[in-house]
Structure 1
């Protein structure tokens, strides 16, 4: 019996040594002892969830040391609320939570009712916010045994939470969110970045996501940005947010100029240019706004940048037909090689710049050379409409429809004219 007990003690000692070895080995690789022992795929994560009462928007920003964190941690229904489930994720908290919120239960009741049925709740972190900004969150009891710090901080209409973190991460995130200015998406991003700056996750970084949904269903407040697998997920997420708002600034510059407010237009254009660096698909639009403002030189510089950064940028050159005589572009823009699609792009740019009489002249020259298409006739008819020459507008719109009965733009404009 004594020998048997000694054998058991020896086995226990061996198991303990193996566990200690595994803990020491895998902690440097972003794993943790509970995940190895329980055979769970648990990864360090931190998040901020909030509601903007003025904008009527709900949002979540989250980052982790695993791939595609936005896939299973963010759930938002505008007008109802939002949930974020991290550590060992479980979508039932959101799916059943939304159902209970519809039934009139509080956010705390919705989360706790699912938690009470969840045998794995001690491995999870869950936060929720309802339609009025009421917040509730919990951190599973087992998370305190993982590397680093785990917990949540609840503020007014927001909560920050995470696990396997450096000590000051959540404090920094909360302070930053409370003091940050800007839209909800910008404040969420600043909070997430401040958490990373404070040390972030002890086990590293690999993906990040930011989702904002507004009650008013507009494209600018329906944001779903994800960096699924990167060595620099925070930098790339910031770039995506800049792109989102840079496009808005560019539209604002365009509208401000057309509304007769050049000061605001120039300010918004400068902001757009700083935010849209690297998105070559927006360079033609930046160049177009410069042309609208009469800045031909600046337009050419953006075109040149596009050609340098994107070898396929040449597809945009026909739309800049007006610049064919510029010394830096004349060897690149050759109207003799234009297809009918290229000419449509050139005409479209003239219309975008409000140069309808030039469009009419060029379109008629092309028609005389038998370079025609249904869309070309639509553009010609629309220009006559803008010039308040309805009889000519109707004439060319009817030709467009004769060439292509499915030209919906020509049909809609013709119907509009005939109903006025």
Structure 2
């Protein structure tokens, strides 16, 4: 009985020793994924793009700060790598020093994957020896691509090639091409679920809400990269809507109509874009053309008719009562 008890105690103590040697990963998100951190050499913008078979991967993996840099932390994610890494960059550490500091102070380093890119474009990456294969990274001029738990070893090289081959595109669109290339090469062995894209500027900003130029997330979707591309196109269309609004404020109706028209051509089924284009037409006294557009909008959704009635009081529609009545009811306008 004593021998059995001693043996049991020895086994128990060995078990404790073995457990103590394992990294404390309890609670760490299991976000195996592929990602890119990159800089546009022309504009100075920096971006992170990511896709994973994990719910809402963006907030875990993608980190960035204008004028400082961008970071992707993945595999068994250590979320502290994001804010701490950006702080280290802001303090003047280079990308390699940031990676070394974060990894060397982490007991779970063998399970981590990390990429850091500074505003200079200089970058560094790390792939722990226990990351699930296929796992690797490639760093190059102004970019780093990394992945783990991929279907094959072709994913990361395909991402690097896609970044180099699409240098003619804006950074955000270029990053989407990289994510598409990863998926086409095999992608995550488990499939697809979520994706995210952030873009920050080359210069520091004081207002935190101005930090991210683009911040898009697809938290749960059967084809997240495709949905991310759609959202990016929509975001670009709304950039033209904003340009149209600014042109209207400046009294340049033709420029506003051009911007609104571009936005509408990019997202042709968006009623709001059609609506504000028609408002701009009405404000420039192109009533008949405005009425045709309003009529098509009202046929699809009556709420826009109510919306139109409210605009004069808000100072957004410069028409008199007779003109407003005609726009709402599609009656002929009598102009003296």
**TM-score normalised over the length of structure 2:** 0.74
Query: Any unmatched runs of 5+ in structure 1?
Result: 1-36, 321-337, 351-358, 367-420
Map of 2:174 onto structure 1: 187
The residue that corresponds to 2:130 in the other structure is: 142
Distance 2:74 2:269 in 1: 32
Match of 1:170 in 2: 156
CA distance in 2, matches of 1:293, 1:170: 56
1:300 lines up with 2:268 in the alignment:
no
Flag the 1:220–1:40 CA change in 2: closer, same or farther, 3 A: closer
Query: How far 1:314 moved relative to its partner?
Result: 2.3
Among candidates 241, 259, 267, match of residue 250 of structure 1? 241
Aligned to 1:384: none
| 2:192 matched residue in structure 1 | 205
Contact 1:247–1:276 (8 Å) recurs in 2? no
Cα distance in 2 for partners of 1:137, 1:319 equals 52
Residues 14-413 of structure 1 aligned to structure 2 (within 5 Å): 41-143=29-131, 146=132, 149-167=134-152, 168-180=154-166, 181-215=168-202, 222-252=213-243, 255=247, 259=252, 266=258, 268-289=259-280, 294=286, 296-297=288-289, 300-301=292-293, 304=296, 307-308=299-300, 313-318=301-306, 320=308, 341=310, 344=313, 348-350=316-318, 359=319, 361-362=320-321
Between the aligned partners of 1:72 and 1:198, the Cα distance in structure 2 is 24
Q: Write out per-residue CA displacement over residues 147-189 of structure 1, whole angstroms, 9 at most, x where no aligned residue.
A: x521111111111111122432222222222222232212111
Cα distance change of structure 1 residues 349 and 151 upon mapping to structure 2, 3 Å threshold: same
Moved more, 275-284 or 205-214: 275-284
Relative to the length of structure 1, the TM-score reads 0.61
- Based on CA coordinates, which of the two structures has the bigger radius of gyration? 1
In the superposition, relative to structure 1, how do residues 279 and 67 fare at CA in structure 2: closer, same or farther (>3 Å)?
Answer: farther
CA contact (8 A) 2:49 2:197 kept: yes
Instruction: Using the TM superposition, name which of 91-100 and 67-76 deviates more.
Output: 91-100
Q: What's the CA shift string for 1:364-398, capped at 9, x where partnerless?
A: x99xxxxxxxxxxxxxxxxxxxxxxxxxxxxxxxx
Is the Cα–Cα contact under 8 Å of residues 49 and 160 in structure 1 kept in the other structure?
A: yes
The count of aligned residue pairs is 295
Instruction: State the shift of 1:41 in Å.
Output: 4.9
Going from structure 1 to structure 2, the CA distance change for 1:100 and 1:220 (only over 3 Å counts) comes to closer
- Work out the CA distance in 1 between the residues paired with 2:170 and 2:156: 21
Give the Cα separation in 1 of the matches to 2:26 and 2:78. 16
From the superposition, tell whether residues 67 and 140 of structure 1 become closer, same or farther in structure 2 (CA, over 3 Å): same
What is the RMSD of the two structures over their aligned residues, measured on CA atoms? 3.7
SS in structure 2 at match of 1:149? coil
Corresponding residue SS for 1:165: coil
Counterparts in 2 of 1:307 and 1:128: CA distance versus 1, 3 Å: farther
Give the Cα separation in 2 of the matches to 1:91 and 1:40: 8
What are the Cα deviations for residues 315-371 of structure 1, in whole angstroms up to 9, with x where unaligned?
Answer: 321455xxxxxxxxxxxxxxxxx6xx46526x6223xxxxxxxx3x549x99xxxxx
| Separation in 2, partners of 1:343, 1:265 | 20
